[in-house]
Structure 1
Amino acid sequence: MIQDKKNHFRLIQCFLLVGAIGIFHFTPLHAQKIKPKQVLKEMEAVADWQIEHFRDTFSIDGKKPHHIADWTNGALYVGMVKWAALAQDDRYYEWLKSVGNEQDWQLHWRKYHADDHAIGQMYIELFRKYSDSTMILPTIQGMDYIIDHPSEEPITLDNYQHLERWTWCDALFMAPPVLAKLANITGDERYTDFMMREYQATTDHLFDPTEKLYYRDNSYIGKLDHGHKIFWSRGNGWVFGGLTLIMDEYPVGSEEYNYFLDIYKQMAAKLITIQTPEGHWAMSLLAQDLYPTPEASGTAFFTFGLAWGINHGVLDRATYEPTVRKAWQALTSYITKDGMLGYVQPIGAAPGSAWPDKTEVYGTGAFLAAGSEVYQLYKK
């Protein structure tokens, strides 16, 4: 009789144990809590891996690494600056300073090309920390020249002839934040006036008011891919992330802030309706059926932007937090055991392919920017 009771008790224990394991195993990833300390660990792992592999070749031609002032690295520095501000020591700031010193604090070589202005964002943030004017003088001189000698090229992009103006949506991440930052630190309204005029011209040209998304450039307007309009994930990620960088530089409620906030809110409302069940965004935003492979760079920029909105009180937490949580947990699942962020689409201008064992520096930059806001979101 006693033995029967012991066996019965053991049987109940087994059922409880199996049930507990089952509950743990089948709890959806996006239902699990995000821990701020874990966010920092993941950011540190990805940042350290990227610095160690900074001079790798990645996806250009396999023969040489990106120039340190290239737009690819400019996007990396945007995220790395945000991580440096959270890190426990200054070694990341020191690394960024070493880049600036190596480049002699110069922008890249094309005077008007927005991609070659992106590194200026890092220079300005380091100036804000160290108050060393040598860090920003070349950027000021470069932007002043453009404002004093504005390009007369058309806003359309025809066979890559016209890259002196912001004729492709990626440009809205690269150059406008530089001008907004300069306007803020110098008080010179010329930077704002020029930036607003050019940004509006690009938006009037590439923003689809029905879909609330940006075409990559005019070559995609009117095109369909198996019945779907073509809205490139990373291209819209560039815009969405860039909007937050610009709004950071203007007073809440100002005319400039409200202009960008209106675009931002339209995009945010659209983005939460087209996130995939797995948590990422498809490379062609309206064509999940055609592009099922995860893609980290666009997803990271969207995560960054949405978390920023919750943190700044412009997006409702109850509505948008589940989207951020799913996206962040998807992103961290792409990190290899060595700290590399996988599934970053190579350099391109349209939906394509991504692989778990391939990355790019701009993907790391987007991930670190996202992590900086995700950390703040869950630290609260």
Structure 2
Amino acid sequence: MNKSNILKAFLLFAITTISQAQEIKSAEVIQVMEKVADWQIENYEGLYSGHSKPHHPLDWTNGALYVGMVKWAALAENDKYYEWLKEIGEKHEWQLHHRKYHADDHTVGQMYIELYRKYQDKDMIEPTKEQFNFIMYHPAQTSLHWKTPYHQSRWNWCDALFMSPPVWAKLYNITGEKKYLDFMMSEFKATTDFLFDEKEDLYYRDESYMGKLDNGTKIFWSRGNGWVFAGLVNVMNELNPQSKEYKYFLKIYKKMASKLLKIQTPQGHWAMSLLGQEFYPTPETSGTSFNVYGLAWGINQGILDKATYGPAVQKGWNVLVGHVTPEGMLGYVQPIGAAPGNAWPDKTEVYGTGAFLSAGSEVYKLYGGK
């Protein structure tokens, strides 16, 4: 390593060390969340990770943004963020995206239900209820094995556990109809039995990564497991903590939380290949945001010990904030993919913003926000 690279490495280490130790203040969390949310709304149709045209407003990418944006809207001082989300729903007549069974196209339903909770307008949720009722009475008979016919009509990739199950759980909560919960539990268990590695307490992205090694390590994608970890939280938020269903999710959540604590990088992020941080040193903010969100939630709920997990949240949040530009763009978001890859300081994505806003909503509470 030449002198220039040694100096750069030292400066990065020094900056990281200082940022990790920085005390988090709830008012500053609100300020950076507002800056990131405003930048994203202003650049909603921007092309920042190589795609050739803006994402459809009902696409999963934006659906994940809305999941975080609605959490921010609940903290903001005025309703302009709710109004922005409401306008999207109204424009598309509260429809889910075009694929009836595909979990990705259900994601936007999470936002619709949260808006229903605020405005009590049944039109906001009727299309979602109708589509989910159809799925229940015409369940997909497809295999969970990868690349079998119509395989993604079921949740056979781990991202799906963020996209669709929380919608089912929310429908159960607001209607009181247990059929939504029962269907979700059956499918979630099938996916977990298929993709969860009991030795590593992590999820494979899909069957195609089982048995493969990357630099001698099993391949567990950071954002993929982040999708699951955040999805667990969003489901548990809808359930009675005394219920058997909640306890099922809690058991998985605790296993993942313990593992994530052990494999967080010294810098505070999580490597794109969770078990191969020495081979993936580049920061990545979408998976890290989901993990910070999930861990901070656990502390706030009294599930995780603050003395044990609090430092991980502090390091994680500080490293995330360090990748927000002065204008409010969250950098180092890995582009759309399904496996460990690369990320860049000047590239972002809407789902990364959604993950960041979700993380901020729990970090704010953790550090004294009301």
**Shorter-chain TM-score: what band?**
over 0.9
In structure 1, what is the Cα distance between the partners aligned to 2:24 and 2:236? 27
Could you say if the C-alpha distance between residues 45 and 125 of structure 1 is closer, same or farther in structure 2, counting changes exceeding 3 Å?
Answer: same
CA shift, 1:355, in A, is 0.1
Q: Pairwise CA RMSD of aligned residues?
A: 1.3
Pairing 1:190–2:199 present: no
1:321 is matched by which residue type in structure 2?
G
- Note the C-alpha offset of 1:160: 7.8
Alignment-mate amino acid for residue 156 of structure 2: T
CA 1:26–1:197 in structure 2 vs 1: closer, same or farther (change >3 Å)?
closer
State the distance in 2 between where 1:223 and 1:179 align. 33
Query: Does 1:53 find its partner at 2:53?
Result: no
SS, match of residue 90 in structure 2: helix
- Assess if the C-alpha contact under 8 Å between 2:200 and 2:259 holds in 1: yes
Could you tell me how far 1:31 is from its partner in structure 2? 1.8
Report the TM-score, using the length of structure 2 for normalisation: 0.94
Does residue 32 (structure 1) correspond to residue 22 (structure 2)? The answer is yes
Q: Distance in 2 between matches of 1:161 and 1:295?
A: 32
Tell whether 2:205 aligns with 1:216: yes
Is 1:335 matched with 2:324?
yes
What TM-score, normalized by structure 1, do the two folds share?
Answer: 0.92
Sort the Cα spacing of 1:358 and 1:187 in 2 relative to 1 into closer, same or farther, 3 A.
Answer: same
Instruction: Tell me which residue corresponds to 2:217.
Output: 228
Contact 2:162 2:228 in 1 (8 A): yes
Shift, 1:366, TM fit: 0.2
Structure 1 outlier segments of 4+, above 4 Å: 24-27
SS class of match (1:120): helix
Q: CA deviation at 1:25?
A: 8.6
- The separation in 1 between residues aligned to 2:351 and 2:343, in whole angstroms, is 14
Deviation at 1:252, TM superposition (A): 0.9
**1-structure distance, mates of 2:75, 2:245:** 28
Q: Which amino acid in structure 2 is aligned with residue 299 of structure 1? A: T
Q: Secondary structure at the match of 2:248?
A: helix
Contact 1:212–1:266 (Cα < 8 Å) also in 2: yes
How far off its partner does 1:59 sit? 2.7
Which of the numbers 146, 149, 153 marks the counterpart of 2:135?
Answer: 146
Offset from partner CA, 1:221-275 (integer Å, 9 cap, x none): 1100111000000000000000000000111121010000000000000000000
Looking at structure 1, the residues matched to 307 and 243 of structure 2 have their Cα atoms a distance apart, in angstroms, of: 27
Q: How far off is 1:289 after superposition?
A: 1.0
| Alignment gaps of 5+ in structure 1 | 1-23
Residue 282 of structure 2 is matched in structure 1 by 293
Change (3 A) 1:41 1:219: same
1:251 aligns with 2:237: no
Q: Distance in 2 between matches of 1:103 and 1:315?
A: 40
Alpha-carbon separation, structure 2, partners of 1:68 and 1:177: 19
Contact 2:16 2:319 in 1 (8 A): no
Paired amino acid for 2:275: L
Higher relative contact order (CA 8 A, sep 6+): 2
Alignment match, 1:99: 88
Q: Secondary structure at the match of 2:153?
A: coil
Whole-Å separation in 2 of the counterparts to 1:265 and 1:73: 29
Distance 1:159 1:337 in 2: 46
CA contact (8 A) 2:103 2:164 kept: yes
- Which residue number corresponds to residue 74 of structure 2? 85
Whole-angstrom CA distance in 1 between matches of 2:174 and 2:320: 34
**What fraction of aligned residue pairs are identical, expressed as a percent?**
64
Give the whole-Å Cα distance in 1 for the aligned partners of 2:284 and 2:127. Answer: 35
What letter matches 2:90 in structure 1?
N
Count how many residue pairs are aligned between Structure 1 and Structure 2: 356
Residue in 1 that maps onto 2:350: 361
1:164 to 140, 153, 161: 153
Residue type of the alignment partner of 2:209 = Y
Task: Check whether the contact 1:77–1:119 (CA below 8 A) recurs between aligned residues.
Answer: yes
Cα distance between partner residues in 1 of 2:49 and 2:345: 14
Are 2:33 and 1:43 equivalent residues in the alignment? yes
8 Å contact kept, 2:222–2:287? yes
CA deviation after TM superposition for structure 1 residue 127, in Å: 0.1
Q: Matched residues in 2 for 1:353 and 1:67: separation?
A: 24
Distance across 1 between alignment mates of 2:141 and 2:233: 29
Assess if the C-alpha contact under 8 Å between 1:118 and 1:178 holds in 2: yes
Query: What is the SS of the residue equivalent to 2:265?
Result: coil
Distance 1:83 1:159 in 2: 39
Aligned to 2:56: 67
Contact 2:16-2:267 at 8 Å conserved across structures: no
Whole-Å separation in 1 of the counterparts to 2:113 and 2:89: 11
Amino acid at match of 1:296: T
Q: Is the 8 A contact 1:283 1:352 kept in 2?
A: yes
What SS does the aligned partner of 2:151 have? coil
Q: CA deviation at 1:161?
A: 4.5
